[in-house]
Amino acid sequence: MNEIERAAESLRTGGVVAFPTETVYGLGADARNEDAVRRVFAIKGRPTEHPLIVHLAWAAQSGEWAAEIPETARRLMQRFWPGPLTLVLPARIDVPRAVTGGQDSVALRVPNHPMALALLRAFGGGLAAPSANRFGAVSPTEAQHVRAALGDSVDHVLDGGPCSYGLESTIVSLLDGCPQVLRPGALPLADLRDALDEDGIKLADLTASAPRVPGALAAHYAPATPLEVHSIETLATRAEVLLAQGLRVAVLRRNRDLHGTPTLPLVPQFLLPAEPEAYARGLYARLHELDHLAFDRLLVEAPPVDEAWWAVNDRLARSARGSWSKGGLRGSN
């Protein structure tokens, strides 16, 4: 038996398997097995009313989970699956409510990663899989992040190397008339809008109130190191203030020419690419790495306020709030 077959066999008997996807690593269990799903919640420390995404090998399996698949959903599946788009649809009555957090809707996605697809095909059914991190913490983009956070509580960790997007999927609800973005993510909004435009369909107003989604909790995706987001102009002053308090400060900024901005004091600087996709790919890995270095404070240069940066800005804002709501205590989540 190879590794994938062993993992699939474990899933069939109620096991929990961490596996790579193109977005982040997932923590999968048989979505039809309520005990296995409950184990996923327990391992993550996640409140049980927060629904999980059901991962499928093929779009054709959607009908086993969704009570109804509107034409718009079919088109989006055709266009973007396999890929980093999650669709929220009305759930069939037989979908375990442990998976949907008690809601009458279900989130579906066909991931675009060879190992995830091999596992899904070998298993044959739907895998309920949240990101493979402790609840509220930064998502894993490498197998070692999963091992460090969840260790022996997981039956298998499949290692597929670093994730190619590094940021969670974009979630779109098709429960009401207009498709509505519930979570910005790896699929750029512009691509989604273009695809919908071709069919004369509009996205719901992005500021419209979204259904209850835990990813929408203000504090989420938080590193252990207290994190602040500042413009490059105010970063230097802020660093000086913190240094004067005797704190160990690090700066995380975009790799570009800082000509014309105030000179930063002598603190360790870490760089991420200047472009949004590459920045997103490296962000979580950097945050994991910086947590190991145990700085007292991480000052992050605010990316541009621009739609292409929406998902990154969203995660940074939540990380900042999350790191503070934990009182800046390392490993407290």
Annotated binding site: 23, 46, 55, 109, 129, 131, 139, 169, 183, 221
Nearer to Mg ion, 188 or 322 (CB): 322
Q: How many angstroms separate the CA atoms of 118 and 5, rounded?
A: 9
- Would you count residue 319 as binding ligand TXA (CB under 6 A)? no
Report the partner that residue 7 touches, choosing among ligand TXA, Mg ion, none (CB closer than 5 to 8 A by kind).
none
- Would you count residue 131 as binding Mg ion (CB under 5 A)? yes
Mark the binding-site residues for L-threonine, compressed into ranges: 23, 55, 109, 129, 169
- Would you count residue 291 as binding ligand TXA (CB under 6 A)? no
**In the Cβ-directed half-sphere of 277, how many Cα atoms lie within 13 Å?**
7
Report the partner that residue 196 touches, choosing among Mg ion, ligand TXA, none (CB closer than 5 to 8 A by kind).
none
Which of positions 129-188 make contact with ligand TXA (CB under 6 A)?
129-131, 168-169, 171, 182-183
- Would you count residue 21 as binding ligand TXA (CB under 6 A)? yes
- Would you count residue 103 as binding ligand TXA (CB under 6 A)? yes
Tokens read off for 44? 């993550």
Mark the binding-site residues for ATP, compressed into ranges: 46, 131, 139, 183, 221
Q: Which region, judged by CB under 6 A, interacts with ligand TXA, from 46-54, 222-230, 256-264, 310-318?
A: 46-54
Q: How many angstroms separate the CA atoms of 183 and 155, rounded?
A: 29
Q: Which region, judged by CB under 5 A, interacts with Mg ion, from 27-35, 78-86, 129-137, 232-240?
A: 129-137
Q: Shortest approach of Mg ion to residue 103 CB, angstroms? A: 17
Q: Shortest approach of Mg ion to residue 138 CB, angstroms? A: 9
Nearer to ligand TXA, 220 or 254 (CB): 220
Q: Which region, judged by CB under 6 A, interacts with ligand TXA, from 51-59, 200-208, 255-263, 307-315?
A: 51-59
- Would you count residue 31 as binding ligand TXA (CB under 6 A)? no
Q: Which residues bind Mg ion (CB under 5 A)?
A: 131
Q: Which residues bind ligand TXA (CB under 6 A)?
A: 21, 23-24, 26, 50-53, 86, 88, 100, 103, 105-107, 109, 111, 129-131, 168-169, 171, 182-183, 211, 213-215
